[in-house]
Amino acid sequence: MVEALIESEPVCINVCNGAHEAEARAVLDVLPHQECITYYEIPTNEPWCRDHGPIFLTREVDPKLAVVDWDYNAWGGKYPPCDLDEIVPTRVAEILKVPVFYPRMILEGGSIDVNGAGALLTSESCLLNKNRNPDLSREQIEQRLRDFLGVREILWLGDGIAGDDTDGHIDDLARFVSERTVVTVIEENHHDENYQPLQQNLERLREMKIGESRTGTKIEIVTLPMPKKIVREDLRLPASYANFYIANTCVLVPTFADPADETAVETLQQLFPNRRVIGIDCRELIWGLGTFHCLTQQQPTA
């Protein structure tokens, strides 16, 4: 992952201490472009920085960057402790010397996806789950997303995929690939437990429009296949091609030694003609219940 990314952009890695940094360097020092890798001593409980890390805003005032520090409870209190992860966004903001805003609402980065033009895509099964914000209504959650992310339209899908311990993060379901185009996963096996919820999400997407009054144009939908069911130690793993990461000059796509890998990579290459789409085997990484999008969090240029 890092080898692909340093050809595209700077890579920042959080480490717990000097020993942890030495361990990372032992693996990564063989790579070229070492000047593109920066280590920050910011201890964490988990590696999934998409969910606990800062969400960056770009602004018209100085400084041009700001950080939103959403509250964090390890995916609904499933994996305590999470005290180190919970303060990571503020630690990053202090290092970068940028303002930080506090919505006072639990939100993981993998639970939302935006088109950069005012629309946000999310799922009811996650954001409306009572293990996150039991005292907030749908309308209150929507308002905080508008207030702290600058979005206007909130587009809701339903349930997530089987094996997803996040209660249905959008980054395993559907992603914006342009202002009006969404790529979404579908399950073709009618007997698979993902078939029905993914069909229902597809139907929702077909009814969605983007526009100030919702009378705008319908979303263009491109479908991605799902890999075959992966089970390890009796646990179904949330393998999904939607968990790709969009870098400056490339797109990293998780693959699973599956016949559908090639279709997924080819589909995304057509959607990103100006980027190199790189498939990387994630059969071991998915055992941690996430892949590339979960492991990364983009930082805009100031």
Catalytic sites, residue numbers: 294
In Å, what is the CA distance from 44 to each residue of 13, 15, 34, 102, 110?
Answer: 11, 8, 23, 20, 17
Residue tagged 């996963």 (tokens):
185
Q: What does the H/E/C string look like for 201-233? A: HHHHHHHCEECCCCCCEECEEEEECCCCCCEEC
- Per DSSP, 197 falls in state H
Structure tokens at 174: 């559907």
Assess whether the previous peptide bond of 225 is cis (omega < 30° from 0). no
Q: State the Cα–Cα distance between residues 50 and 183, nearest whole angstrom.
A: 19
Please report the DSSP string for 58-101 in residue order. E-SSSSSEEEE--B--HHHHTS---HHHHTHHHHHHHHHT--EE
Q: State the Cα–Cα distance between residues 229 and 239, nearest whole angstrom.
A: 8
